[in-house]
Structure 1
Amino acid sequence: MTDKNNAPAINIGITSEDRAAVAQELSKLLADSYTLYLMTHNFHWNVTGPMFNALHQMFMDQYTETWNALDEIAERIRALGHYAPGTYAEYGKLSTIAEPQGVPSAMEMIEMLVKGNEAVAKTARAAFAKADAANDQPTADILTQRLDVHEKNAWMLRSMLQ
């Protein structure tokens, strides 16, 4: 069987309904991850104060890691047979993370990034449930990695607030 473009139908052992459900959850993760990436990069550029150097470097490490993960998430959506969202408008509809207004103080930046990393972790956890139910191990692997990164980032940032 082929699809409308005469390409062979996807036959990887996951139903089309399950692939669609997982792809939708991954699209939410992509939107949250991109929003967090953009916020972290913004804060890297605009942080000021006595912790400037430490925060500037930490933010760069975090946004670089997140940037590299975006491609992996989007490519998994494509491997499941769906198109990845790729516009600000789509991300705005899918993301659970609110964009900052103005330039927050360094401590407010840290607080916002804690919440942002926690939001991405929650989104990844919800997607993991769908992937696990669909017996989709490659997606589950990506999601486990994302959970580890964002929970660790949240912990490190939260520690700076104590």
Structure 2
Amino acid sequence: MAHSSMKTVAKEFPVDAGVDRKDRQKLAKMLTRIVGSSHVLYAKTRGVHWNVVGPTFYSLHKMTEEHYEDLHVANDDMAERIRAIGFAAPTGITEMIEHSVITDQEKLLPANEMVKELVEDHEKMARLIRDGVAAAEEVEDVKTADLLTERIGVHEESAWMLRATIS
């Protein structure tokens, strides 16, 4: 028999840390878009890591491993931020894809095309996260703004490194 504590479901809980509920709710929706997008990018990056071939195999294999490991940690931090501001984090692949600005990889492409797509995806992430920083700053949620600001630089650098590898 399952313990009653195992039947509880994550739901909104009251937070009184200086940001109004409606503003936290808007930020949670923005963070859900970012987490969903980041999760799809994580999966695409793993796909490139597993399937890359050609003269840049070793460097792309190692680079994409660094990128997906970073995305894994960042996804966790951002999803936990949604919880910390009082709302439920996204659950499951379908929800991630529905909220994502990054399109899922549906078929295997030549290595240079997959990497070119990752470059574009990292730039999409930087633009999306920039919007998230603006939204957080607007309501004076400095913690969320700080967390997201760091991510912009990571995505810009990832795009640069990938672009330089296939140039």
Match of 2:67, SS? helix
Which one of the candidate residues 40, 65, 74 is aligned to 1:69?
74
Q: 1:51: which partner in 2?
A: 56
Alignment CA distance shift 1:9-1:103 (3 Å): closer
CA apart distance, 1:89 = 1.2
Q: Does 1:14 align with 2:38?
A: no
Please list the CA deviations of residues 39-81 of structure 1 after superposition, one character each: whole Å capped at 9, or x if unmatched.
0011101111111111100110100111111110000000110
- Runs (4 or more) in structure 1 with deviation over 3 Å come to none
How do 1:107-118 residues align onto structure 2 when only pairs under 5 Å count?
Answer: 107-118=112-123
List alignment gaps of at least 5 residues for structure 2: 1-11
Q: 2:43: which partner in 1?
A: 38
Q: Which amino acid aligns with 1:84?
A: A
Q: Does 1:140 align with 2:141?
A: no
Q: 1:159: which partner in 2?
A: 164
1-structure distance, mates of 2:13, 2:46: 40
TM-score by length of structure 1 reads 0.92
How do 1:79-90 residues align onto structure 2 when only pairs under 5 Å count?
Answer: 79-90=84-95
Q: 2:32: which partner in 1?
A: 27
1-structure distance, mates of 2:93, 2:22: 26
Q: Which amino acid aligns with 1:146?
A: R
* Matched-pair contact (CA < 8 Å) for 2:97–2:104: no
Paired residue total: 157
Q: 1:130: which partner in 2?
A: 135
Match of 1:10, SS? coil
2-structure distance, mates of 1:69, 1:8: 23
Sequence identity (%): 38
List alignment gaps of at least 5 residues for structure 1: 1-6
CA-atom RMSD, angstroms?
Answer: 1.6
CA apart distance, 1:8 = 7.6
* Matched-pair contact (CA < 8 Å) for 1:20–1:82: yes
Alignment CA distance shift 1:110-1:133 (3 Å): same
